[in-house]
Amino acid sequence: MTSADHLLPSSRSVGPDGGLFLEFPAGSPAVRAATRAEGDELNAVLELTDVAPVSVPHRVRGRAWISGRLTAVPGMAGPGRMMLRLETAEAFVDDLWGAQDVEPEAFRDAAPDPLVVHEAELLQHLHAAHGERMGMLHALLGERAACDCPAHRPSAVPVALDRFGLRVRFVEGQGSCFDARFEFPEPVRDVVGLRRAMYTLFEAASC
């Protein structure tokens, strides 16, 4: 039986044509299959799971599946390693924003969100250091904020952050919860812009 750990790439990156480069130990089952396939077509599926970096009910934020032809790329990895290339033929995403197919061209041309490198650290900081302010966002929920007294206010946990806004999970009694999305006045370009956007958001919640 093959351990699932042996099928996990140690690193991954996206090439300019949208193909994925996956680094494995030279003796991994994936490398053996790709090198033995030679001229034959070897199809593979890469599954990605996105887990919220904070403790919250239902921590899986989404999953993605990318399928295509898998080939070995000798000479691109260090000793004892092998780089494999997964040619993107089909992609499907099911996350907090909905489920949809992603065309290979759209996957190729997509640009990373400017906050992606800092998202985990920022969410953890908001949760650990600004819990009271996060709870104040409940006041912006309209009818769902009818009872906004602190004793009955649900706990608020930040679960996703990008240049367009912040998603917060409100955890109510008996484990029930719901998400709310707070859009920024304009997309932020960096952490400095994020600080201004968060200040504006907290100011609106305190009025």
- pLDDT for 6 equals 61
Cβ pair 115, 158 in contact under 8 A: no
Domain ranges of the chain: 4-109, 119-206
- pLDDT for 82 equals 96
Using a 10 angstrom Cβ sphere, with 0-12 exposed, 13-18 middle and 19 or more buried, the burial of residue 19 is buried
* Residue 148 DSSP code: -
Q: How far apart are CA 8 and CA 6, in angstroms?
A: 6
pLDDT > 90 in the chain, percent: 82
Evaluate if residue 21 carries a pLDDT over 70: yes
- pLDDT for 146 equals 52
> Cα torsion at 119, 124, 127, 129 (round to 10°)?
-110
Evaluate if residue 12 carries a pLDDT over 50: yes
Quick: pLDDT tens for 59-79. Answer: 999 999 999 999 999 999 999
Concatenated DSSP letters of 13-67? EE-TTS-EEEEEETTSHHHHHHHHHTTS--EEEEEEEEE-SS--SS-EEEEEEEE
**CATH-assigned architecture of domain 4-109:** Roll (2.30)
Evaluate if residue 151 carries a pLDDT over 70: no
Evaluate if residue 2 carries a pLDDT over 50: no
For domain 119-206, say whether CATH 3.40.50.10190 is its number. no
Find, among 179, 181, 152, the residue nearest to 56 by Cα: 179
Q: How far apart are CA 135 and CA 180, in angstroms?
A: 12
Quick: pLDDT tens for 76-123. Answer: 999 999 999 999 999 999 998 899 999 999 999 999 999 999 999 999
Evaluate if residue 39 carries a pLDDT over 90: no
